[in-house]
Each structure stands twice: as structure tokens, then as C-alpha cells.
Amino acid sequence: MTQTLTIARMGHQGDGIAETPNGLVFVPGALPGEVISAEVKDGRAEQFDLLEPSPDRRPIHSETYAECGVAPMQHWADEPYLAWKRDVVIQTLAREGIETEVEATVAVPQASRRRLALHARSGPGGRVLLGFKARRSWRLVELTDCPVSDPALIAALPGLAKVAAPFLGHPKSAPTLHVTLTDTGLDVDVTGVEKKSGGLTADVKARAIAAAHEADLARLSLDGDTLVMARQPRITFGRATVPLPPAAFLQAAPAAEAAMVSRAVEAVRGAKKVADLFCGAGTFTFPLAEVASVIAADSSAASIAALKAGVSTAQGLKTIDAQARDLFRRPLSPFDLKGCDAIVFDPPRAGALEQTQQLPGTKASVVVGVSCNPQTFARDARILIDAGFRLEKVTPIDQFLWSTHVELVGVFRR
């Protein structure tokens, strides 16, 4: 049965929400204030007719994104969209009983994303398709336009399709190309290739390597193992130039990274010794080392080795002590962090529960939490607040443009 619905608000997953006598109805693609007509099934309306559009509705930026759903907020005007992300952070903190200053969301420019994960599939006539999965489906939507990504990534798509072709030979293979734009060119790591049935033949590897040369890739790797490297992929962190390991983590947008780093450095300014936990290859380590000596720790031995290699490229930095350590199983204790008067931590989505529990026992007067998951950040923040820290402020950062994803930087002081 068709219903007329008024969208009351936007949900955390980017669906418009209508309030009805029978409960909430979630409507993907609808905006607050809009009146729609739709068939409702199990509390959802996947398609609708727009009766009264919101004045905040905008023409979409990308047909590809409209179909695949990786940027479901692209039809919303910038101001309410960024305000909504700020509200998501406020509400998530409130569920843990946390109130603090939440700054305006930091926006990133279009055409600035430097990382893409592209699914590869065989198309009609043997043509290789690269793109994203359709919303709520396994169907592949071919990437033809991508206004959020650096133009160099889009220009490389024909060459990347040729690189993917050799990996599609096995019927169980579903390759994904993890493409990173580095200072020295494109670094591509391929996952999802069937290897249990005898592995890749020498011919397949030779064709992939030839395609990598033709596409002028800096490096091509398979599940983190290098197949061919024409140039060492390098990235700049502060004053250092770091040789990026295969499949290494890197912030998706340089502008988002800069916003995070500047806030972390400013918060710890005046400290003599800083711990950089979950440091990766040194995103925060090197800028922090311009103002204080740094203990850097991460579970990835390859990232720590890259960080150490980057130390020799930078001048005028304070001492950096880098160590490979699983901070979930063996978090740094107050003894390990002796002398640190400031701590920065940037964990994966799971948060840093085990490590956070150790921080109140240190002498650190300031802690900076960087997070890609407001829920686990709020959980970890509660631990610090209960131990006597005050969450001074939080800055939401819109690293993944037009998505429902929001990142943040929070500053705690004892």
C-alpha cells in the first residue's frame, strides 16, 4: 500500500526517517522536511516519489555514486550535510553521557582522495570492469566518474583494468585493487585472488607485471607481497619522506590528514616527550617530533621499519624511538610510558580499549584521540573521563566526502 510520508530527520546511516503510527520508516535518499509517496515494507521504502522536495536538495555529482551507494549524501547541500555529521558525533558522545564542545565539521575538497578500493569483474566481450558494488547488492557498478578522487586515479583506470585482467582467470577469484597515489606514483595491492588451487602460474604473473609496467605503476603487490617495483612508493609526513610498505595504511585524503595532524601537534605543544600509539608509518610521528621527542608504537613491523627509514631523511627532529608492538595484546604500560607528558593514539575502528585503560596510570597531562569510529571513541573517552581527564573539545572531520562516515580528533586534559 502506498503511503504519504514526511521525513522528520536523518538517521546515522544516511536514511531519511519518517515517524508513523506504525513506527519509524527508513527512506534511503530522502532528506529532512521532504514529503514523499512510497510503498513501505518492513519499515523501509527503497523507492519513492518526491512530492515536496527540500530546498537543501542538490543535483547529484556522480551517476556512479548514485547507483552504488558509497556516497549516499551527495544530493544534500553542504551546510546541513556537515551539520548532520557534527550532530552524529554529539549524539554518539551523549549515549556515553559525555558533553563537550564539538567544533564545526572540517570539510575536504573534491578531487582530493588518494586511495580507492576497486572491485574487478569480467564484463561483456571479455572487457574488465572496475568499480564498486551496488547498494545492497553484489552487482558491480563500473566506475566512470569519481568527483571525490584525485584525477590521477581516474586517469589510470584503463591501465588498472589491464592490470586486473590476469587475476580474473580463476572462477573463484574476485580481485580487489587497492590503489594508493603516492609521491612516486601509483601503488597497487591486489586481494581476493584464488590461490588455493595451485597458486598463480608464471604466465599470469608475467602478464600482470607487463601490465604494471605499461600502466607505469610504482609497485604491484599481491596480498602485500611485491610482484614488481619500478620505483619505491614514498609518502611525505612532515619533514620526512617515508618508503611506504605494500598494503600499508594511509589516510585517504591529504586535507583530512593535515587537519588531524595540526590539531594533535597544537594540543601537545609544550610537551617534552610524546607517545604516538598506533603510529603506522609515521603520519603523526614526524610532525610531533618537530616539537617533542616521540615514542612511536604500532603492531605492523613493516610500518615501523618504514618509519625508521624515514628518520634519516628528515633534519631538525627530536628523538624518535619506534617499536613494533601489538597494542591490543601488549598495550604500553605506565612504566613503558614513563616520562611521557602527552599521548596521541589513532587506533583502527575497534578503538583502543586495552591501551586506553593504561593511560590514567601515566603522568601524561594531555591525551589526543584520533578516531574513524565515534562509537568506540566515545567508549574509550568514558574511561579517560572517569579517571579524571576532561574532554576539552572534539573536531569532526569529513574525510570520506558524501558518505555516512565521520572521523574526529578529541583533546583530553587532566
* Cα angle: 354, vertex 359, 365; to 5 degrees: 160
Residue 85 and residue 222: Cα distance in Å, rounded? 36
Residue with cell 590539531: 263
Mode of pairing for the β-strands spanning 140-142 and 128-133 = antiparallel
Catalytic residue among 68, 146, 340, 372: 372
Query: DSSP letters of 78-129?
Result: HHHHHHHHHHHHHHHHHTTT---EEPPPBP--TT-B-EEEEEEEE-GGG-EE
Helices (H), 101-214: 151-155, 157-164, 202-214
Q: What is the helix (H) or strand (E) element at residue 186, kind and residue range?
A: strand 185-191
Residue 226 and residue 188: Cα distance in Å, rounded? 10
Residue 252 and residue 259: Cα distance in Å, rounded? 12
The beta-strand segments (E) located in 208-356 are 219-222, 225-229, 234-237, 240-243, 273-277, 293-298, 320-324, 342-345
Residue 129 and residue 364: Cα distance in Å, rounded? 51
User: Was 237 annotated as part of a binding site?
Assistant: no
Long-range contacts of 349-353 (CB under 8 A, 24+ apart): 349/373, 349/376, 350/376, 351/376, 351/377, 351/379, 351/380, 352/277, 352/278, 352/327, 352/376, 352/380, 353/379, 353/380, 353/383
End-to-end CA, the chain: 57
User: Was 251 annotated as part of a binding site?
Assistant: yes
User: Was 278 annotated as part of a binding site?
Assistant: yes
Residue 224 and residue 210: Cα distance in Å, rounded? 19
**279 is an active site residue:** no
User: Was 48 annotated as part of a binding site?
Assistant: no
Q: Phi/psi zone of residue 223: left (φ > 0), alpha (ψ -120 to 50 degrees), beta?
A: left
Q: Which three cell numbers stand for residue 97?
A: 553521557
| 351, 71 contact by CB (below 8 A) | no
Half-sphere exposure of 36 (CA within 13 A, CB side): 27
Nearest residue to 383 (alpha-carbon basis) of 405, 351, 337: 351
The residues annotated as belonging to the active site are 372
Q: Which residues are annotated as a binding site for S-adenosyl-L-methionine?
A: 251, 278, 298, 346
